Amino acid sequence: MKINLYYITLWNLLSFFVFLGLLVGINIFLTNENIPFNQIITASILFCIVYVMLFASSWKLLSPARKDRVVGIVWALLVLALVACYAYPLIYDWLPRLGVYFHRVDTEFDVLEFWERIMWAMAFVWLLSAGAATTYRYIASRIQLRQAAAKRDIYRIRIERLQAQLETRHFSPHTIENVVAITMGRLTTENKEEYLDTLMVLAEILHYALRMQDERETASFAEEWRQVENLVMLGRVCFGDEGIVLHRPEKLPEGRLPMGIFVMPMENALKYATVARDKAIVIDLQRHVAGWRFTVTNSFRETKRQGIWSNRTGFTLLQQKIEGGNWPLAIERQERGDTFVVSIVSNLDNEI
């Protein structure tokens, strides 16, 4: 659930009627003399304006984002500056011209008393606005938490079903179990929308993996590249933003590909890679002679690679896809010490 401060502000304009009712009640039950109604109306309008501005400030100050909190501080200081600069001329000059008097002509002006009343009024409105903002954020967070939990359960069931369908296929669902665990944990503790997006992406990749089991299935370059970006997103959940580096040209090639031609080497890298500060997984797509070259580079530890169960048929199936469709593609693999590099190379310019 996205919360729009603009719409909340529009609703907050109704606080005018709250202040109006409050001041009318005070006038009826708590004062010994009758307060002119034009003063009550004017005071309600002023309280409403200040309340709306201070609510926006409090809303930003309560945000978990540092940028929003800075905005909240700046906005609060701006409101205080406006009150400090214009409270006196407003009450003692501008409003009297409209026939609204908040001071007695027969009472001597006391600057300390004036600012004391202004500060008490400001504190009262600020407490109301801060309390309302806190309550609203709390209620909204509880609603978001319930919605996130419901969506999480739906995605989890869907993911488990897709994983079960893939257990006997080449694509290894256990390679992204880490992503599931991390995402579920963060959804529980932090309740961020992007974690739900991660589960949705995960389900999309698993569904794509089921389709690509058919050696005859094809995909457009854009469709296959979308799964590359999805896998990068999932990989960054596990390895951090700096754990995977993606390079791509400004314009993607066109045409069709055997489905999974990029997904399979990327899945292999995510499975076996050892990621460190200076050893990120690097995915690179660039022009090559008359076509393009897609390269996945990752570091690995031999003990980790040997400890992961695999039927070791991934590249065989990849080669079968290429040969079965007579695609103008070639697979290049090489190991350089603890670095593994696999490339898919095309031979035609922007069409296959």
Instruction: Look at residue 319 and tell me whether its pLDDT is greater than 60.
Output: yes
Tokens of 150: 């419901």
Residue-wise pLDDT for 205-215, tens only, equals: 888 888 887 87
Q: What is the pLDDT, as a whole number, of residue 309?
A: 57
Residue 104 pLDDT grade (very low, low, confident, very high; cuts 50, 70, 90) = confident
Q: What is the mean pLDDT of residues 316-337?
A: 86
Residue-wise pLDDT for 130-174, tens only, equals: 999 999 999 988 887 788 778 878 877 887 787 777 766 556 655
Tokens of 170: 């080449």
Helix (H) or strand (E) run with residue 17 in it: helix 15-29
Q: What is the pLDDT, as a whole number, of residue 178?
A: 65
In the chain, % of residues over pLDDT 90: 43
Instruction: Look at residue 350 and tell me whether its pLDDT is greater than 50.
Output: no
Residue 327: count of CB within 10 angstroms of its CB: 19
Residue 248: count of CB within 10 angstroms of its CB: 14
**What is the C-alpha separation between 160 and 173, in angstroms, rounded?**
10
Residue-wise pLDDT for 255-309, tens only, equals: 899 998 998 888 888 888 888 878 899 999 998 777 899 999 999 877 776 666 5
Mean pLDDT of the chain: 85
Q: What is the mean pLDDT of residues 317-323?
A: 83
In 3D, which of 147, 352, 119, 145 has the Cα closest to residue 252?
A: 352
Contacts 24+ apart (CB under 8 A), 318-324: 318/260, 318/261, 318/264, 318/265, 320/215, 321/215, 321/258, 321/259, 321/260, 321/261, 322/258, 322/261, 324/215, 324/216
Q: pTM higher than 0.85 for the full model?
A: no
| Topology given in CATH for the domain delimited by 167-346 | Heat Shock Protein 90 (3.30.565)
Q: What is the pLDDT, as a whole number, of residue 283?
A: 95
Question: Which of 36-50, 130-144, 186-200, 274-288 is the least confident region?
Answer: 186-200
**What is the C-alpha separation between 207 and 158, in angstroms, rounded?**
10
**What is the C-alpha separation between 45 and 259, in angstroms, rounded?**
64
Q: What is the pLDDT, as a whole number, of residue 171?
A: 64
Question: Which of 70-79, 125-134, 201-210 is the least confident region?
Answer: 201-210
Greater confidence (194 vs 48) lies with 48
Domain boundaries defined on the chain? 5-145, 167-346
Instruction: Look at residue 330 and tell me whether its pLDDT is greater than 70.
Output: yes
Q: What is the pLDDT, as a whole number, of residue 174?
A: 54
Tokens of 214: 């058919």
Q: What is the pLDDT, as a whole number, of residue 352?
A: 41
